[in-house]
Amino acid sequence: MPARPAVPRSGPATIADVAAAAGVSKQTVSNVMNYPAKVREETRERVRRAVAELGFQPNRMARALRSSTAGMIACRIEPVSSHSLAHLHDRFLHALAEAGQAVGRHLMLFAVDDAEDEAATCVQLVRTGSVEGVVLYNLVPGDPRPPALREAGVPFVCFGRFSDDAEATGWVDVDNAAGVGAVVDHLAECGHRRIGFLGFPEGHRVGDDRAAGWVTAMDRHGLLAGSHRLDVRGEDTWVSGARTARGLLDRADPPTALVAASDTLAAGALQAVRDLGLALGEDVALVGYDDTPSAEVLDLSSVRQPLPEVGRRIVEALCPAGGTPVPVASLLAPELVVRGSSRRRT
């Protein structure tokens, strides 16, 4: 295709102007500037002539090319539950966006109905060049998303382990068992000997890890014998927390402290404490998990997940300096934040 006459412009020339003037695509202009051996000599000459006539600067072109690449990572927005006080997903997305911004990437959010639609959407986004990679959240045992994306060749990193295989990569997680263990250690040091646990239904990976942390720490302190009846499970809702906590506290030999697997369960337990006329922090200690804004408002001790570090490691794995995603298998330590709900017993 012959080159078209250059059209006078009022502003700096763009890569599109060069491509139009030379009668080629923007990718061909890029190849001439960066990989000239890929382009025929006649075409190279047309592009170079257009560049010269338009006064186009290679550094301007580089900026234009960078802006036209994906520069984005994608993550699904989780449905909002009206029964939960925890906004961990929102805080995680914020941490992910900040980590991406630090390396010149942006976060694309999308909504779908289920895991199958999510995997299909992720494949489409990567194959169309809309994003560089995707982030998966809220993994469950046997989750179909990681194998589907791996088979499709889609770069991904999970917030949470998705496999029991010790060699599996592609995840960043928080040591949930260690977090609950730190809570039991704290309560034992405060003088509590009967420490109950309010957990999620069995089969929930995060919930099972947190329950295992309670068992291990209770055993370490010699408190496990006879205490299995203090380990109760229920849905991660405020109503469930209130019901299960009341069942433990309204008995002849109640626990003097409760560990909740989430701040939502802890908030329900707090209501049960008040309904029974007990004094929080004195008659019964209470510690939640996730350190949501609600925990601070309620003066509730809780376990804080290092979400900024989670986001940073995920982005580093998906968008490394070398350009090729790198394997990651990272387990991070959480932090216990002690407030008035768990005081030392006298």
Q: How far apart are CA 173 and CA 178, in angstroms?
A: 12
Q: Which CATH number fits domain 70-174+307-333: 3.40.640.10, 3.40.50.300, 3.40.50.2300, 3.40.190.10?
A: 3.40.50.2300
For residue 29, give the 3-state DSSP assignment: helix
Q: How far apart are CA 338 and CA 331, in angstroms?
A: 23
pLDDT at 242: 96
Strands 335-337 and 302-304: antiparallel
CATH topology of domain 176-304: Rossmann fold (3.40.50)
Domain layout of the chain by residue ranges: 15-58, 70-174+307-333, 176-304
pLDDT 10s digit of each residue in the chain, 346 long? 455 544 445 567 788 888 899 999 888 887 777 667 678 888 888 988 888 888 776 654 444 444 444 589 999 998 766 566 657 888 999 999 999 999 889 999 999 999 999 999 999 999 888 899 999 998 888 899 999 999 999 999 999 998 888 888 999 999 999 999 999 999 999 999 999 999 999 988 899 999 999 999 999 999 987 666 788 998 888 899 999 999 999 988 899 999 999 999 999 999 999 999 999 999 999 999 999 999 999 999 999 999 999 999 999 999 887 677 889 999 999 999 999 999 765 5
Evaluate whether 15-58 and 70-174+307-333 have a shared fold. no
- Chain-centre distance for alpha carbon 71: 19
Q: Alpha helices of the chain — where are they, by DSSP H?
A: 15-22, 26-34, 41-54, 58-68, 88-102, 115-127, 145-152, 176-189, 205-220, 238-249, 263-275, 293-297, 307-318
Structural element, H or E, at residue 107: strand 106-110
Give the CA count within 13 Å in the CB-facing half-sphere of 48: 11
Q: Which residues of 285-307 are buried (b: 16+ CB within 10 A; e: fewer)?
A: bbbbbbbbebbeebebbbbbbeb
Q: How far apart are CA 82 and CA 91, in angstroms?
A: 17
Q: How far apart are CA 78 and CA 59, in angstroms?
A: 41
Q: How far apart are CA 242 and CA 248, in angstroms?
A: 10
Q: How far apart are CA 128 and CA 126, in angstroms?
A: 5
CATH topology of domain 15-58: 434 Repressor (Amino-terminal Domain) (1.10.260)
